[in-house]
Amino acid sequence: MSRKKSGSSKYSDMDEIIFMFECKTCDTREAYWEDGTVWEGARTYCKKCRGQMSHQEKEEKPNIFTATYSCPDCSYEYTETVDLNIPKERKVEVDPYLELEKKILYR
């Protein structure tokens, strides 16, 4: 990872190591750069007043998570829900020419 905001190349000489820790007892996570400074995640800003929003996350059902973002300055609020459940059956469309192409390309 790199601390550069934008315009950094994918393979920069300034890449640094970030250490991540998780406490199983109190269920908290922390991350630190190799020099010991605390890693700060991405911030969300209010669409109305551009103030920094706070957020709360909770698991509604197994694999369904809801994040509520609220602005302390103007009281604007919105919610995002993520469903990580995988459908039991996916209909996969088969390319009718796939086997023919394999025969032609890999003889």
> Has residue 46 been placed in a domain?
yes
Flag whether pLDDT at 6 surpasses 70. Answer: no
> Has residue 58 been placed in a domain?
yes
> Has residue 42 been placed in a domain?
yes
Q: Would you state the pLDDT for residue 4? A: 61
Per residue in 65-103, pLDDT (tens digit) is: 999 999 999 989 999 998 888 776 767 777 888 888 888
Number of domains within the chain? 1
> Has residue 75 been placed in a domain?
yes
- Domain residues for the domain of 74 are 18-86
> Has residue 52 been placed in a domain?
yes
| Cα 56 to Cα 79: distance, rounded to the nearest angstrom | 10
| Cα 63 to Cα 59: distance, rounded to the nearest angstrom | 7
> Has residue 55 been placed in a domain?
yes
Per residue in 11-55, pLDDT (tens digit) is: 555 678 899 999 989 888 899 999 999 988 888 899 999 999 998
> Has residue 104 been placed in a domain?
no
**Would you say the pTM of this structure is higher than 0.85?**
no
> Has residue 97 been placed in a domain?
no
